Amino acid sequence: MAFAPYSGPFENLINEFCNPANILTTAGRFAELEKQYGPYTFGKFAKLLLKNPDEFKNWERDAGGIPASIRQRLTEVISTNLKSKSPLPMMLKVGANVDTSHDLIVEVFAYKGSIYIGLLMLCPNPELT
């Protein structure tokens, strides 16, 4: 699957870090990492936040397959949210696009009493590649 590196364990991990119960802790850790390693870009802190970094040993290569414009948009949304005084929970969903391109849809939505930033990452359709 073209989207396999991003779905499953990575998707679940991001959703755990960014759920309503954990978003403030994640934002605090994010601030510490920026002080230590400089400004965030998409994926920069992924291995530093992981409990088991070997689970994503090909992260740099896999994330590098996402077009620069989408990586930039992810950087802007994630960084702006985690730096805000009241960061919103975020939910990532990864799936196959209808064509052979990547796409990112960002939506704000309400779920179980919380306002979320939804990130729908669409990866090239494996049936067409």
The string of pLDDT tens digits covering residues 25-68 is 999 999 999 999 999 988 788 777 777 767 777 766 666 678 99
> pTM for the complete prediction?
0.88
| Per-residue pLDDT tens digits for 79-124 | 999 999 999 999 999 999 999 999 999 999 999 999 999 999 998 8
Q: Which pLDDT belongs to residue 29?
A: 94
Taking the CA of residue 44 as centre, how many other CA atoms within 13 Å lie in the half-sphere pointing to its CB? 17
Q: Counting every residue, how long is the chain?
A: 129
Q: Which pLDDT belongs to residue 1?
A: 43
Tell me if 2 is assigned to some domain: no
* Number of domains composing the chain: 1
Tell me if 4 is assigned to some domain: no
Q: Which domain holds residue 56?
A: 9-123
Q: What is the mean pLDDT of the chain?
A: 88
Tell me if 129 is assigned to some domain: no
Tell me if 48 is assigned to some domain: yes
